[in-house]
A and B are shown apart, each in its own frame.
Chain A
Amino acid sequence: MARGRSRLRLPDGTGPAVLGLVPLGFLAVFFLWPVAAIIQRGLGSDGLVRVLGSPDTWSVVLFTVGQAAASTVVAVIAAMPVAFLLARCALPGIAVVRAAILVPFVLPTVVVGLAFRSLMPDGGVLSIVLANAFFNVAVVARTVAGLWSHLDRRAENAARALGASPLRAFTSVTLPALRPAIGSAAAIVFLFCATSFGVVLLLGGARYRTLETEIYLRTVDLLDLSGAAALSLIQITAVVAVLVLAALARRRRETAMALRARTETTRRPRGGEWWVAATAYAVVAALMVPIVALVVRSVSTSDGWGLDGYRALSGTGFRGSLQISGLDAAVNSLRAATDATLLALLLGVSASVVLVSLGRSRAHPGFVDTLDTALMLPLGVSAVTVGFGYLITLDALPGDLRTSAALVPLAQAIVVTPLVIRMILPVLRSVDPRLRQAAGSLGASPWRVWREVDIPLAGRSLIAAAAFGFVVALGEFGATSFLARPDSATLPIVIGRLISRPGELNNQMAYAACTMLMVVTVAVVLLVERLRVRSVGEF
């Protein structure tokens, strides 16, 4: 029993524990405090009772959960063949597929919503589900592929040798091994879908309302803070429930795992695998349909085809609809997303280091799990709640950040950090503690062990997280539209601006800007992922 207490002094974890104050402090100031303040302000009156007592509320909750669950199921089913393609198949062009499936993430929801609307004019709930799934296939595909590509093929081969059909080998051997990754990705997708805003508002209007759109409308249009606060509490409760379930699902995954080199596990598909690969390509093709529709619109003019929209990108739109040119906006986007990604990496890696250190020091597991869950919360809280929370809290800080452009990357980082943690943590947790002990015995200090062992081992995931986080930051719309100054507008903001203006040129320019955003996304992702091959050994 002396052990439990004495280990809290963390013989090799003191540094990381101090490091942990950074992300926790950041999260407390830029997330917990604003959210708590805005909810507290709303709770004063009878809002909670009124909202909880209204059957309308519960139908909104039901629809929120229902559409998110359906979207998650669709996204998982669509993503599995793609994950197989990315993880197991040695075919040309895989890198492009890996990058291309991220494109939906950066597209402003209003544009995607319009695309789905024109593709499915009377889509209703189905179009909401498909649009949400469209955004999130990449999350599942890339997360699952990340684990799958490291799974030893020999377990499957053993099952096959025991007489299992390929399908049986998959369901009895591979699927259980992948289940934690699927569960973890599904939880994130569920959160994204449950809090998806733009698409639901556009495709669902006032008929299909979710907690997120309801919170937005109550806050922004009606200033019904007590109603919004009550709904926010319901949302947070639901989010915590999902996170706890996800944590349970993850627990099994993040045990030490014998990782294999990806090169050892890929090969050309054989036999029935071609069907799976073909399905994967079909899914990717389906993902490309709305994207191609956007590109087509960007070159359509009233008299045929033209590149007017692209030429206009260097200007400020029809009769100066914009404060800055499209190209300036692209530069702003890259700059803000880079800041946000680096900040999120810093926060996410240090938070992961703390979680892992606490886990290794055998601190109370309940505490570690709670911390882990708390760090995920930003994914499940409405951007407008956070944004309005900023308004009533951040003036207490020196320099009144409320009016500062620095808030844009900060707010983006809040959204990206949980994703970084989710991608880094499993890998760090799977590093065998004896590997670290071996490094320690060779004279490496705890910091040096992190630098020389853990971080390089997590290098692949770190880079994947950087690419993914960058893309998410690049496409972030909700918080950014709330916080960006006119001269620091990002591409999604500019697109939203252009599309809400009459005039053919504005419209073409909006779609041309979408295309540019997509091209930038694919280029950045390809570039970042190429870094991986050059500088990190495959293992």
Chain B
Amino acid sequence: MLKVDGLDVAYGRILAVSEVDLEIADGEVVALLGPSGCGKSTLLRAIAGLERPTTGTISWNGTDLAGIPIHRRGFGLVFQDGQLFPHRDVAGNVSFGLRMPATQQPPPTLGGGPVASLSAEGAGNEGRRGGLWITGRGGESLGIAARVDEMLELVGLSGYGGRRVTELSGGEQQRVALARALAPHPRLLLLDEPLSALDRALREQLAIDLARLLRESGSTALVVTHDHDEAFTLADRVAVMRAGRIVQVGKPDEVWRRPVDEATARFLGCDLFLDAHADNGVLNCEFGSAPVPWAPDGPVTAGLRPAALRVGDGPTEVTVTARVHRRDHVRLVVDTGGRRVDAVAGIADAPEVGARVRLVLAPDGVAVLSRRG
């Protein structure tokens, strides 16, 4: 288990990470979510052993990692742009960690192939709890080759072993980087914006693959990302970071539905904040009411995402001032009488600019915050 306690990391006089506490349980995937420059990469680098904390501790199963350099931590690292070794082929990259001396590394957690991996998870966790392991990997070159094949199969690149890494597409490179990081059974996998360099369609597909893979391999992982879709797809828990601090930690839907403050809500897509009142799971506001079970009774602030307001049969009548076609809906800007807000409509019945339409409150796009002030 990783435990970060009261961590500060400073660059000169600038505090990049401030008073961070974070725990990652074995087998858990935590996403560190925040806008760029919020300090999330610095936190990841500090955990990896690449930055020296100013104060605070980082420990693994109770052992302080302060004096332990990166290569003895047994943490896997995946960068945004792969950083594959250009002078080695795909297999050479994946086998790299397997050839390194196995000091203080955990024993294999992934005995069988990916199919067996779900059942292997428990055993792996068992092993990890033993603290810092000082064992030989026991992998002879045959074992290494088998492990490389296994990893390539896991990331869907079977048979790619002999390819030059410069010949791979961006997505393939990231898969190899992942296979390389996973091969030596890291105790913790650190992923720094692993998908941001890819184009969107690939990113979404790979996010799903990555989520499956992390679970199948039973990995404990910390994913740094600025993309909440990615965070919610991958993570068991999300830690939202802003200006060097972790402002909220929770399960993805908790964070999504109950952001801790307005800035967090804005970061998570809310751009309209209204005073509202909740009664028995029903939220009432100027755009009407809707069942919002996660709203606590009493006065609250509702944070609305564009999807919270749909063209339909609601109480408010507005004028459409702009429309943009999106992949599966139409995004509208509507005038509510002096105020412009975002709303959505279905593709089939999207109104023209200038049309008068009614809006209905849709619970999916609603975040609930404690009342301001």
Contacts and interface: CB of A to CB of B under 8 A. Distances in A.
Interface of A: 1-4, 6-7, 11-12, 259, 261, 432, 434-435, 437-446, 448-449, 452-453, 456-457, 459, 536-537, 539
A261 B166 contact: yes
Contact of B10 (A2, A12, A259, A443): A2
Given A1-B13, A11-B52, A537-B164, A443 B105 contact: yes
Contacts of A438: 77, 79, 83, 85, 177, 180-181
A217 to B, nearest CB: 51
User: Chain B contact residues (Cβ within 8 angstroms of A): what range?
Assistant: 35 or more
A443 B183 CA distance: 12
B168 interface: no
Closest 5 CB pairs of A and B: A442-B97, A443-B100, A441-B77, A440-B70, A539-B86
Contacts of B190: 441
A435 B72 CA distance: 17
Contacts of B69: 11-12, 440, 445-446
Interface of B: 10-13, 48-50, 52, 54, 69-77, 79, 83, 85-89, 96-97, 100-103, 105, 164, 166, 177, 180-181, 184, 186, 190
A444 B71 contact: yes
B48 A441 contact: yes
Contacts of B166: 261, 539
Most chain A Cβ neighbours within 10 Å, of B69, B87, B101 = B87
Contact of A12 (B70, B73, B75, B102): B70
Given A7-B52, A448-B100, 17 more contacts: A3-B10, A3-B12, A11-B49, A261-B166, A432-B83, A434-B83, A438-B177, A438-B181, A439-B85, A440-B50, A440-B69, A443-B71, A445-B71, A452-B96, A457-B86, A537-B87, A537-B88
Interface of chain A: mostly helix, strand, loop or mixed: helix
Most chain B Cβ neighbours within 10 Å, of A6, A12, A437 = A437
A114 B52 CA distance: 63
B195 to A, nearest CB: 16
Contacts of B164: 537, 539
A123 to B, nearest CB: 48
A456 B54 CA distance: 35
Contacts of B73: 441
A364 B12 CA distance: 14
Contacts of B77: 437-438, 441-442
A441 B70 contact: yes
A263 to B, nearest CB: 10
B102 A443 contact: yes
A261 B11 CA distance: 36
A3 B54 contact: yes
Given A1-B13, A7-B52, A444 B100 contact: yes
A434 B75 CA distance: 15
